[in-house]
Amino acid sequence: MAKHIEPGMRVALPVDYAGVSMAMTRPIIEHGAGDLDLVCVPTGGLQVDQLVGAGLVRSVETSAVSLGEAGGAPRFNAAVKEGAIRLKDATCPAIHAGLMAAQKGSPFMPLRGLIGTDLLRHRDDWRVVDNPLADGGDPIVLIPAIKPDVTIFHVPMADRFGNVWIGRRRELAAMAYASQLVLVTVERIVEENLLADEMTAAGVLPALYVTAVALAPKGAWPYGLWGEYPTDSAEIARYAKAARTADGFAAYMGQAQMESA
Amino acid sequence: MAKHIEPGMRVALPVDYAGVSMAMTRPIIEHGAGDLDLVCVPTGGLQVDQLVGAGLVRSVETSAVSLGEAGGAPRFNAAVKEGAIRLKDATCPAIHAGLMAAQKGSPFMPLRGLIGTDLLRHRDDWRVVDNPLADGGDPIVLIPAIKPDVTIFHVPMADRFGNVWIGRRRELAAMAYASQLVLVTVERIVEENLLADEMTAAGVLPALYVTAVALAPKGAWPYGLWGEYPTDSAEIARYAKAARTADGFAAYMGQAQMESA
Amino acid sequence: MAEVLPREVLICTIARLLDGVRHVAVGASSPIPAAGAMLLRAMKEAEGAVGPRISILGSVEHNFFTNGSAELFDCAGQGRIDAFFLGGGQIDGFGNVNLVGAGDYPRSSVRWPGSFGSAYLYFVVPRVILFREEHTPRVFVEKVDFISAPGVSPDGVFRSGGPIALLTGKALFRFDKTRPGFELESVHPGHDLAEIKEATGFRFAHDAEPRQTALPGRATLDLLRGRVFDELAETYPEFAAQMRRELGTVDA
Amino acid sequence: MAEVLPREVLICTIARLLDGVRHVAVGASSPIPAAGAMLLRAMKEAEGAVGPRISILGSVEHNFFTNGSAELFDCAGQGRIDAFFLGGGQIDGFGNVNLVGAGDYPRSSVRWPGSFGSAYLYFVVPRVILFREEHTPRVFVEKVDFISAPGVSPDGVFRSGGPIALLTGKALFRFDKTRPGFELESVHPGHDLAEIKEATGFRFAHDAEPRQTALPGRATLDLLRGRVFDELAETYPEFAAQMRRELGTVDA
């Protein structure tokens, strides 16, 4: 599926616990399309760090990047220090607001908060206006629509018709609604139509929004997948240690590649 | 549960096929709190017509009111002709936008379309501004937040903990998020926690948003309930015919009251 | 040429107007537009091509949405809906649609249900087909009493959609947004220009001798009366049964 | 008086600061705030009152939300979250919080993860408790290098929330938004004013002889070491186990 990704694309990726398609990370790196603008929904971790480490990333819009209990994201932090990537520091609800604007076909969404922050000072795409519905004053920030070219995530299942079960991780639907392309890896593909039963339908992202689905058992590993398997904290810690240096990162990625071959 | 309803409250009611709590209609009428401002999400039918016919309604914000195949809503249409209720004619996505603004804690949401309509001309609460993110011009409508005092709907089930299963009728969640009070009738109450399993959890409105739940088997009748039972079109047609006159309406409601007694 | 029912002409005309769309939304109480969309899908698939996706609104059985009643409008705003149908208590020569009521608003002498999503969808769905079988001066007026949705918008107003055609029980009109106004494209069998002029309350452009609306060929009719009516029967059982009753008469 | 662990003092102080809230949200990696909230719930329920609702974020097992990661912020915007905790790489005397990095932005010499939801939640959650165990001049600075979220806002800026207190491993401060600034409320056992002044990079108001932070009574400690540590063990097993190991030492 990595062939859908072209240089310069804006790529939306989900938060650690929502269903990260780690299975797609290596194919994306091998495919090699660079100058990517990542949008973390609303924060990033291992996948972002590895794409940055592989040199494919031009900018990162995010509310945070870290490896959780394993500490800071080493290649991301190094790239920040070197000025190798452009940062668009945000706050979680601003990323959700930008996606919601795209979902609604609106040019922007208003968001409370933010005024007086250095986030706002460094974002020339955000705009402060006086609330037109107030009697005067009442400044409020407008967040422009975030329209990713492609969204990539991993979930437990899809059906043969391309319907994808996202359960209660509805940010995955929000990302898909806002995106041109939606690439999904899954633990399993089921025979029955997930929309045919109201119980399963409640957690479905309909095929209408899905570009491609691929089978990838344990596809979130070393992240966990809700309702399926826990996070492999030891492996993330092993990565965190290895990736402290560019050489260590290259060695880790090369080794993992050999293991997967 | 009707005791929660006080005179002058703003009451949000769902569209016919999403889960109308018809079981609550008569208790509300008997309770008698009037001067209600109804918000139909996004359109209204039998319940709206009966509340209007009972004289409890001060205004109706809606994208449409009708009895579907049974034709126009007789008491609503009569009240319009008499000028007995104030109309806030809207369009479906404007109602959704207003609720979304309340859900997000934002004062307004922008919405495309609407410019040049007589809907806009008659709505002094909607505001047209030039899109602040454009280079100039580009008028766009801002819809103020809709914050109902109370939302009332009917769904297949709730659990003992107050979690309510709304399936894919997510407008019910949107209404609840935006409301102070949320009154729900259900076909059945189950023992197990609906949030404990990812499959059921995907369709749950959490107890956090729910004020009260009451058991009301066939509680949407004569409307149908998705996944449960179909609409009783003959009964709706019977109402439509009876309610052509105020006397016929009173007779219908009185008869139904005796039947339920 | 096989004998063709008037509603079959409408269905086949709609299939033609929809040619090329990827996704069309139709109302739960709109069997003729739905049949047109289903016919197009059947024709495409018979050619080995991909047919349009069809979303039937308000149907529990054919509900392909999972985000409540807002999803249709979101989907349209995202540019994922290419075609939609709109009726109207009144439609005027500028493509303005009135779904609210006749007479002075708000105390309309005749109140219709309301504008539904028209005030948004008319702006953002590229191919809106105005469809109303009743072709009378009561419906097709010079100027609507209330604009639920305007046919055209001034320059500078965001608008990616709008009307492309008006289909009635008597004729097919094309909408020219530059004039703006309607142009008679063709007249259905059994009707003529004089009758249409009399039945239409607004002025419209037309040839001196307008064409007749194209009739479907044998292959199209077979698809329609076979596969399409079968599909239609799942969602619109009464309409499908009625069409088949009428065809029984025709065939006899 | 029973012997009390320093972290037990923190937990009991947090329970006191939360008194009266209906709904508190805590992070998945914040066992001490979670323990404080759970202790308050246990105390309320022991009195026969209704305890606060506790939402643990990012936890799969204790996820009471069903609308994705946006729901917490929506919920806060609706006024349904009364209390929240915020840490920070740097916190200054005006209540400004920096979660982004030290040095010149964007090429920070030390980069922290980022602002998360602070730039919104700090504005709309009525009772934000700043909590950072490490009490050093590196953390508590005169002026933060980057404002992720400001302690106060000018008149006319919509703000229904903000900091009410700062709790560290050494002391508890109250935040006075009118000055604005912090005021030393009490000093934890084993620490004193001189030490706290040295460890704090910003100026703060204080009594000449500040009080000691109140210690929990026997009943509270029993609740904490019983029911609360049991509940805590479900979500924060390592933390609960460590506390119990330390208590083993204390009890021995």
Q: Which domain holds residue B220?
A: 2-90+147-254
DSSP secondary structure, C106-166, as one string: SS-SEE-S--TTHHHHHHH-SEEEEEES--STTTEESS-SS-SB-S---TTS--S--EEEE
**pLDDT at position C251 over 80:** no
Q: Is residue A112 situated within a structural domain?
A: no
Over residues C86-108, the pLDDT tens digits come to 999 999 999 999 999 999 999 98
Residue C250's pLDDT band, with cuts at 50, 70 and 90, is: low
A243-257, B54-68, D45-59: which is most confident: B54-68
Q: Is residue B65 situated within a structural domain?
A: yes
Residue D169's pLDDT band, with cuts at 50, 70 and 90, is: very high
**Spatial separation of the C-alpha atoms in residues B120 and D57, rounded to whole Å:** 41
**pLDDT at position C56 over 80:** yes
pLDDT score at B259: 57
- CATH number of the domain within which B45 lies: 3.40.1080.10
Angle made by CA atoms A133, A139, A145, in degrees to the nearest 5: 85
Q: Is residue B56 situated within a structural domain?
A: yes
Q: Would you call B81 an interface residue with chain C, using a CB distance cutoff of 8 Å?
A: yes
pLDDT score at B260: 52
DSSP secondary structure, A103-141, as one string: HHT-SEEEESS-TT-HHHHT-TTSEEEE-TTSSS--EEE
Average pLDDT, chain C: 94
Region of A32 on the Ramachandran plot (φ > 0 left; ψ -120 to 50 alpha; else beta): left
Residue A260's pLDDT band, with cuts at 50, 70 and 90, is: low
Over residues A207-240, the pLDDT tens digits come to 999 999 999 999 999 999 999 999 999 999 999 9
Top residue of B165, B175, B177 to mutate, by most chain D CBs within 10 Å, is B177
pLDDT score at C2: 56
ipTM attached to this prediction? 0.96
Q: Is residue B210 situated within a structural domain?
A: yes
pLDDT score at D60: 66
**Spatial separation of the C-alpha atoms in residues D17 and D43, rounded to whole Å:** 13
The set of residues, in sequence order, having a beta carbon less than 8 Å from that of D156 and lying 6+ positions away, is A137, A138, A139
**pLDDT at position D143 over 80:** yes
- The domains of chain D, with CATH numbers, are 6-86+117-131+154-248 (3.40.1080.10)
Retrieve residue D12's tokens: 């009991």
Over residues A79-104, the pLDDT tens digits come to 999 999 999 999 999 999 999 999 99
**pLDDT at position D234 over 90:** no
Over residues B105-147, the pLDDT tens digits come to 999 999 999 999 999 999 999 999 999 999 999 999 999 999 9
Over residues D185-232, the pLDDT tens digits come to 999 999 999 999 999 999 999 999 999 999 999 999 999 999 999 999
Q: Is residue B97 situated within a structural domain?
A: no
Task: Tell me the average pLDDT across C229-246.
Answer: 90
Top residue of B199, B200, B205, B225 to mutate, by most chain A CBs within 10 Å, is B199
Q: Which of B91, B120, B169 sits opposite C68 (nearest CB)?
A: B169
Do residues A175 and A41 make contact, with C-beta atoms less than 8 angstroms apart?
A: yes
Alpha carbon separation from A12 to A116, A148, A155, D165 (Å, rounded): 27, 6, 15, 37
| Residue B107 to residue A110, Cβ atoms within 8 A | yes
Using an 8 Å CB-CB cutoff, list chain D residues near B209: 80
Q: Is residue A108 situated within a structural domain?
A: no
Q: How many domains does chain B have?
A: 1
What residue has token string 């739960």? C28
Q: Is residue A137 situated within a structural domain?
A: no
pLDDT score at B258: 55
pLDDT score at C1: 45
Residue C63's pLDDT band, with cuts at 50, 70 and 90, is: confident
Task: Tell me the average pLDDT across D83-111.
Answer: 95
Name the percent of chain A lying above pLDDT 70: 98
pLDDT score at D1: 45
Task: Tell me the average pLDDT across B32-52.
Answer: 98
pLDDT score at C214: 96
Measure C124 CA to nearest chain A CA, in Å: 9
Task: Tell me the average pLDDT across C224-252.
Answer: 86
**Spatial separation of the C-alpha atoms in residues A222 and A229, rounded to whole Å:** 10
- SS3 state at D97: strand
Measure C80 CA to nearest chain B CA, in Å: 16
What residue has token string 């419906």? C139
**pLDDT at position C10 over 60:** yes
pLDDT score at C252: 43
Q: Is residue A177 situated within a structural domain?
A: yes
Q: How many CB pairs under 8 A join A and C?
A: 38
Top residue of B92, B104, B127, B138 to mutate, by most chain A CBs within 10 Å, is B104
**pLDDT at position D252 over 50:** no
